[in-house]
Structure formats: structure tokens, C-alpha cells
Amino acid sequence: MNKLSRVLGVVRNQLATYVPRINATTQAAVAPTADPKVPAPAKDKHEGLMEFFDVKENWTTNEVRVGRSWRKEELRIKSNQDLHKLWYVLLKERNMLLTMQHEMNEKWEPFQSPERIDKVHESMVNLEEVVRERNRAYYLLETGETGERPGRVETNKVGMHYFFKASEHVVPPEHNNHWFKKFGCNRREVAKFRLYYNEKIWLGRLKEKNRNTRHVMKLYKRFPDLDEEALQAEYPDVNLERVKRWNGAQGHFMPRNL
């Protein structure tokens, strides 16, 4: 932990970003207690477990002032080792914040500066994205593939399309009877279902078109000098020339050329 703090201390000074503070308990642990007259440290103080709690000065404050989260540009210039260390610092910080928040909620107390959780989360997301970028670049260079999880659009049991995330299996699907019984399908019933389902979608589209046509008709009735180009852009599937000649589209106006 001390080595870690040294590494991150440099980073903190350079970039002035939110590097969580190392717990006071770990620093206090360095001081030796060789003197027999001095009583042994209290048994309740468990160093490792006290890392789940904030530094003691922050227990009584109403606000904890912190910096911003780590940005991608800053993380991109760090080495893999530094990123790995920073990940664990952020992980511990998140655990600490969640623990404190839970405790405060249980005691009906306001949790100080809850935005810290979001900041840590944002940093972690950025860090993972940067690591992923590197991974992708490495795999492209070495194997010609991205190394990401493969996926494709597939048809499921009821004939609907969905994005399938591939994963490794011990048995191929054509030899897996159990899987086929569970996820295989009756094609005739699926075809019937698809027919009705497509009809429903088609009817929905038709109804929408008719609705739009009627709406345009009413618009013509109220505003005879409409900007037709804009109207056509708004409702592309309505035949304006046809709608204009309908009785419902004629307003109670004097004819133009009397």
C-alpha cells in the first residue's frame, strides 16, 4: 500500500485529479511499538478491514472536498502497470464509499458528498475503456481480429431476430439434444405466428398512414396556405395532391378567384 501511495502521489501532484486518500490507519501502522510500557494497540482496530471506512477526519465533516474524475486522455498516457494499480485504488475507494453510504443510510444521516461515487464510477469506466482500446490494438496486430466477444444477429424460437452474444460450449448445438428440446422450434407454428405478427405490424403501419392523412386534411382545412415542402418532409407517405382535393380539406373561406 505504501509503495502504491508513492506511485500515485506523483500522479496526483502532476495532474491534480481525484486520487483517493490512503487510509490513516495504514500510515499509522508504520510506527513501531517496541516500548513495553506503551499498551498494545486496541484489538478492535483491524487494519485491513478499517480500509472499508473513510479516514477518521471525514467522519465528522458535512462535506468532503474532492477533485474531478480521471479522463481518458490522462489514462492513455499511463503504463499498463499504473492503470492496474489505479484500478485497485478506485475499487477500494468505491467499496469504502458504498460502505459509508450504507452505514449513513442505516443511521438516517446524510451521506457526505455522494457525488464521489459517481466520480469513481466514471473513472473506472474510462479506465476500462482505455484498457480495452489497448487490448483491441494488440489483438488486431497479433491475430487480425479485435479480440472482443463475437456476436451476430440470430433468429430465436419464435422467429424473432435478436443480437446473439457468442460464448464457448463443450458440445456443438447440432449434437446437443437437451438444448434442441429446450430451444428448438416447430417451424409450422412459427410460420403461423410470424404471419399473424407481420400482419399486425403491417396493419399498424397502415393505421398510422391513415391517421397522418386525416391529420393533414384537417391542417389544410385550417391553414389553406401551408408550406407544402415542410408538410411533405413531416409526413412523407401522405399524397398531398390527393388530400388537397378532398371535401374535408376545404375550409370555410371565400374562393380565391371569384
Listed in sequence order, the residues at least 6 apart from 153 whose beta carbon sits closer than 8 Å to its beta carbon are: 161, 162, 163, 164
Binding map of other proteins across residues 90-129, x = CB under 8 A, - = no contact: -xx-xx--xxx-xxx-xx-x--------------x--xx-
Burial class (CB in 10 A: 0-12, 13-18, 19+), 138: exposed
CB of 99 to other proteins, least distance (A): 5
Side-chain half-sphere of 236: how many Cα atoms within 13 Å? Answer: 1
* Spatial CA neighbour of 137 closest among 93, 94, 80, 182: 80
Candidates 2-10, 49-57, 232-240, 241-249: pick the segment binding other proteins (CB under 8 A).
Answer: 49-57
Q: How far apart are the first and last CA of the chain?
A: 93
- For 218, the grid coordinates are 384537417
Among 135, 156, 177, 186, binds other proteins (CB under 8 A): 135
- Which string of x and - marks every residue 212-251 that binds other proteins (by CB under 8 A)? ----------------------------------------
72 binds other proteins (CB under 8 A): no
> Is residue 29 a contact residue for other proteins (CB under 8 A)?
no
Which of 10, 16, 28, 46 is the binder for other proteins (CB under 8 A)?
46
Identify which range of 84-92, 183-191, 201-209, 223-231 contacts other proteins by CB under 8 A.
84-92
For other proteins, give the closer residue by CB, 22 or 127: 127
106 versus 225: smaller Cβ distance to other proteins? 106
- Nearest CA to 117 out of 64, 76, 165 is that of 64
Three-point CA angle 108, 93, 102, nearest 5°: 20
Indicate the burial class of 27 (C-beta count within 10 angstroms; 0-12, 13-18, 19 or more).
middle
Q: How many CA atoms lie within 13 A of 31 on its CB side?
A: 9
Which of 9, 59, 186, 228 lies at the binding interface for other proteins (CB under 8 A)? Answer: 59
Q: Is 89 in the site for other proteins (CB under 8 A)?
A: no
Looking only at residues 173 through 212 of this chain, which bind other proteins when binding is defined by CB under 8 A?
A: none
Where does this chain bind other proteins (CB under 8 A)? 43-44, 46, 48-53, 59-62, 84, 87-88, 91-92, 94-95, 98-100, 102-104, 106-107, 109, 124, 127-128, 131-132, 134-135, 147-149, 167-170
